[in-house]
Amino acid sequence: MAEATRKLLIATTNPKKCREMGEILKAANLNLELVTLEAFPNAPEVDETGETFMENAHLKALAGVRHTGLTVISDDGGLCIDALDGQPGVKSHRFLGENTSFVEKMTRIFEMMETVTEERRTCRFQCAVVIATAEGQTFECMGVCEGRVGYEMRGQYGFGYDPLFVLPDGRHMAELTPEEKHTLSHRGKALACAVKVLQQLFP
C-alpha cells in the first residue's frame, strides 16, 4: 500500500477497548497511523445484530470502511459462562441493559452462580477481530482465554468483566498489569493474529 494510505481505523466506540487495542497495535511497531472513530463524529452507530462475536465484528468493520474508505480493524467479544448456557455471551455489553454498570452485571452473575460448584464454574473470554480493506478484502482472527468465574471481584486493572474472571494461575484478570494482560488475554491473542495480517497488508 502507498505511504499515504498507512492509516488504520480502530472501529470501536468503547474508549477503554480502543486504548487497549491501540496499545497492543503500537507495541507491534507496524509504522501505521492509528485513527479512532473520534476523528469521524458523523460515523453511524452500528446495530450489533449478529448472532456471534465474528458476525458483529464484521458489521463494525464493514461500516467503518463504508464511512471512511480506510482499512479498518474492529472487534467484538465477551464472557461465555458454561453453567449459564454461554451467557452473557454475545450480549455481554447489553446484559441487564447497556446502561447497567459492570459492577451490577457481575453482582448479578455471582447471584446466578451462587449454587454452582467450583468444577462447574468454567468460562472463557472470546474475542473476534476483523480487518476490512477498501478493496473489499476481509480477514478474521479469534482469541480465546479460558478461566473460571470467581466468587468476588478483584483487581484494579482492566475493564468489563475482568474483576470476576479467574485465570488458571489463580489471579483475576483485573489483577494483571496491561502488559501482562496483553500477552494472556483473548484480545491480545486475537490481535497477535491480526498483527500478522497487517504486516502483509502494510509491508
Residues designated catalytic? 76
Beta-carbon contacts of residue 18 (< 8 Å; ≥ 6 apart):
10, 12, 36, 37
DSSP letter at 156 equals: S
Contact 77, 93 (CB under 8 A): no
Q: Grid coordinates standing for 25?
A: 497495535
Q: Which residue's entry shows cell 455471551?
A: 89
Cell of 149: 468465574
Residue 97 CA to residue 184 CA, distance in Å, equals: 28
Q: Considering only CA atoms, which of 93, 181, 77 is closest in space to residue 129?
A: 77
In angstroms, the first-to-last Cα distance of the chain is: 8
Residue 39 CA, chain-centre distance (Å), reads 21
Cβ(64)–Cβ(10) below 8 Å: no
In angstroms, rounded to a whole number, what is the distance separating the alpha carbons of residues 56 and 54? 5
